[in-house]
């Protein structure tokens, strides 16, 4: 794997915690742990939250930790949390980050591999940019055996040049109210983000929630380097794969009622949190989220008969609602052709 270039700043004053969540990950966890523990400098704390594994995952974890040099073990604070009953991905990550004490928290999946220099590069970025609250990155997609599949994460999620420019220009919220482009396995954030993001919403995935809250109360940016090998396999709880034309067409045939109600519920939860954050929220954000909610309620309440949706959908498109709050032409097509049930 390539070694990343490191910017020359002193990052020694920043401590880093890694929040690593596991669930039946015995096949890959040792390789991931080695890639984390051999970072230079290594993290200051490792929090592992296991969600009720039954395949010996924690036995592999403990064996790998015991195999580390004595000096490295002495310098690393390790916390292992064991959930008696599975919490699910989002709650498991919430449990892990709550136990983190570092200035910076790095999220980690159990089956990826960090590129050497990844942690140092991220620390230097946070030192150089005190305003930065959350940083995410590109990744190289690999198969079960760690062999590159010829695609990057940003390519897979179709993170467009236009969206990237918006984020770089300080408008991450404008992107994230349309759709999520942040993948948790690549995320690092300042621990004070948790003051605003905890508890995580029940209707958002943890990385989406952290990203949009960070974009509201601070600055979100990305690193275009491929800082991890992001493994794609049948056991992924959440993965990344560029949708084929067949997949996109199949989505147009899916019933719209349950999905649209879920989208409304997500924005309602976000608006509730935004209002609750009070003065931490900049002027204009409540209006943005409120208008996003109005847009999703409009979509949910469209007529059952597709023919009767044409006029209101085209009117909303003409007014810019689909462009500002969704995936523009694709969502217009979705609303025109999807069956209601």
Contact 188, 107 (CB under 8 A): yes
Residue 180 is predicted with a pLDDT of: 97
Q: Do the strands 188-190 and 132-142 form a parallel or antiparallel pair, or are they unpaired?
A: antiparallel
The structure tokens listed for 290 are 């409120």
**C-alpha–C-alpha distance, residues 324 and 10, integer Å:** 40
Tell me the torsion sign for CA atoms 323, 318, 256, 246: negative
Burial (Cβ within 10 Å: 0-12, 13-18, ≥19) of residue 278: exposed
Q: What is the spatial distance between Cα 99 and Cα 90, in angstroms, rounded to a whole number?
A: 15
Q: What are phi and psi of 190, to 5 degrees?
A: -70, 140
Q: Cα separation of 336 and 231, whole Å?
A: 36
Pairing of strands 45-50, 16-22: parallel
Measured CA to CA, the distance from residue 228 to residue 269 in angstroms comes to: 31
Average of per-residue pLDDT across 49-68? 96
Q: Which residues 6+ apart lie within 8 Å of 182 measured at CB?
A: 134, 136, 176, 207, 208, 210, 211, 220
- Tokens describing residue 35: 């890639």
Q: What is the mean pLDDT of residues 67-81?
A: 91
pLDDT (tens digit per residue) in 282-311: 999 999 999 999 999 999 999 999 999 999
Q: Taking residues 138-164, what's their average pLDDT?
A: 96
Cα 185 from Cα 239, distance rounded (Å): 10
Q: How far is CA 166 from CA 170, 175, 178, 221, in A?
A: 6, 7, 12, 10
User: What is the bridge-based pairing of β-strands 104-108 and 16-22?
Assistant: parallel
Q: Helix crossing, 257-277 with 206-217: angle to 10°?
A: 40
The CATH T-level fold of domain 16-231 is Spore Coat Polysaccharide Biosynthesis Protein SpsA; Chain A (3.90.550)
Question: What value does the mean pLDDT take over residues 236-251?
Answer: 66
DSSP letter at 242 equals: P
On average, the pLDDT of the chain sits at 93
What pLDDT is stored for residue 9 in this prediction?
Answer: 45
DSSP 100-161: --SSEEEEE-SS-EEPTTHHHHHHHHHHH-TTEEEEEEEEEEE-TTS-EEEEEHHHHTT--H
Lowest mean pLDDT of 24-33, 81-90, 250-259, name the range: 250-259
For the ranges 48-62, 125-139, 222-236, 288-302, which has the lowest average pLDDT? 222-236
Mean pLDDT calculated for residue range 150-173 = 97
pLDDT digits (tens, 9 = 90+) for 201-241: 999 999 999 999 999 999 999 999 999 999 996 554 455 66
Domain(s) of CATH 3.90.550.10: residues in the chain: 16-231
pLDDT of residue 248: 74
| Cα separation, 115 vs 229, whole angstroms | 7
User: Sorting pLDDT into bands at 50, 70 and 90, what band is 73?
Assistant: confident
Distance, CA of 229 to CA of 139 (rounded, Å): 6
Buried b / exposed e along 280-302 (16+ C-beta atoms within 10 A): ebeeebeebbeebbebbebbbeb
Provide the phi-psi class of 89: left if phi over 0, else alpha when psi is between -120 and 50, else beta.
Answer: alpha
């Amino acid at each position: 794997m390539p070694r990343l270039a490191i910017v020359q700043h002193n990052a020694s004053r920043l401590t880093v915690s890694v929040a690593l969540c596991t669930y039946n990950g015995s096949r890959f966890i040792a390789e991931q742990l080695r890639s984390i523990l051999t970072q230079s400098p290594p993290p200051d704390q490792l929090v592992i939250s296991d969600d009720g594994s039954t395949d010996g995952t924690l036995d592999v974890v403990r064996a790998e930790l015991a195999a580390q040099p004595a000096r490295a073990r002495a310098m690393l604070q390790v916390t292992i949390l064991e959930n008696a009953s599975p919490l699910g991905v989002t709650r498991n990550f919430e449990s892990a980050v709550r136990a983190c004490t570092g200035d910076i928290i790095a999220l980690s999946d159990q089956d990826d591999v960090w590129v050497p220099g990844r942690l140092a590069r991220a620390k230097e970025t946070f030192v150089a940019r005190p305003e930065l609250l959350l940083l995410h990155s590109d990744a190289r997609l690999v198969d079960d055996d760690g062999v590159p599949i010829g695609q990057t994460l940003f390519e897979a999620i179709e993170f467009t040049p236009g969206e990237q420019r918006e984020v770089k220009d300080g408008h991450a919220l404008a992107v994230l109210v349309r759709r999520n482009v942040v993948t948790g396995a690549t995320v690092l954030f300042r621990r004070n983000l948790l003051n605003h993001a905890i508890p995580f919403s029940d209707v958002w995935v943890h990385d989406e929630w952290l990203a949009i809250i960070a974009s509201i109360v601070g600055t979100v940016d990305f690193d275009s380097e491929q800082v991890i090998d992001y493994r794609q396999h049948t056991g992924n709880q959440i993965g990344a794969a560029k949708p084929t034309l067949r997949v996109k067409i199949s989505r147009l045939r899916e019933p719209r009622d349950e999905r649209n109600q879920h989208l409304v519920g997500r924005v309602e939860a976000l608006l509730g949190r935004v209002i609750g954050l009070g003065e931490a929220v900049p002027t204009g954000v409540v209006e943005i989220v409120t208008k996003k909610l109005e847009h999703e309620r409009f979509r949910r309440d469209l007529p059952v008969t597709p023919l009767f949706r044409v006029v209101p959908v085209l009117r909303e498109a003409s007014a810019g609602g689909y462009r500002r709050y969704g995936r523009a032409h694709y969502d217009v097509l979705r609303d025109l052709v999807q069956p209601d049930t």
